[in-house]
Amino acid sequence: MPGDVVRAAGDALAERALGLPELAGARTVAAYVSVGGEPGTLALLDALRARGVRVLLPALLPDNDLDWGEYAGPDSLARVRHGGKMALFEPSGERLGPAAVTAADVVLLPGLAVDARGMRLGRGGGSYDRVLDRLERAGARPALVVLLYDTEVVARVPAEAHDRPVHAVVTPSGVRRFPRG
């Protein structure tokens, strides 16, 4: 997608997401920095920080699990290439450990699509499956929100027994909620 479309979608996503009651009351949000053609997340990350929210960002570990670090603005990001995978923007500061995500009030998830059941289709690396499992094992119950383009909300995506539904999807045109199980 052209850069101006990605930026416009990111601005619209930030506006919609910032209106979520879950984010209004959040003290800690686990998020991510969009890459490639994903809807832009930097406007949202900066707006959350301006509200005084602690924003955690992932750092990919060699086994595809995620460590976490704090976002302190665009200058706190490092572009990191992991083997043959695409380059990611990760926090350059102190690593807080994989369990840091369990302190989040809201977890913003990337994805390729989400369906009418709230099932999210990821990129297949299993990183966020591990995060969701870690949250469950810790008894943490953050709001799970996926950020997508309107066209990525579909009738059905493949799901396996370990997959967990999200609670909401935010797109440039609105918010769709799913029942919490």
Count of domains forming the chain: 1
32 is in an annotated binding site: no
pLDDT score of 162 more than 90: no
Give the CATH number for residue 120: 3.40.50.10420
pLDDT value at residue 181? 58
175 is in an annotated binding site: no
Contact between residue 105 and residue 27 where contact means Cβ atoms under 8 Å apart = yes
123 is in an annotated binding site: yes
Residues 71 and 47: their CA atoms lie apart, in Å, by: 12
13 is in an annotated binding site: no
Residue labelled with tokens 């990760």: 90
pTM: 0.94
Dihedral sign for Cα atoms in the order 82, 86, 92, 95: negative
34 is in an annotated binding site: no
130 is in an annotated binding site: no
Range of the domain at 83: 3-177
126 is in an annotated binding site: yes
67-100 tens-digit pLDDT? 999 999 999 999 998 877 778 999 999 999 999 9
Q: Using pLDDT thresholds of 50, 70 and 90, give the confidence band for residue 53.
A: very high
Contacts of 49 (CB under 8 A, 6+ apart): 55, 71, 72, 73
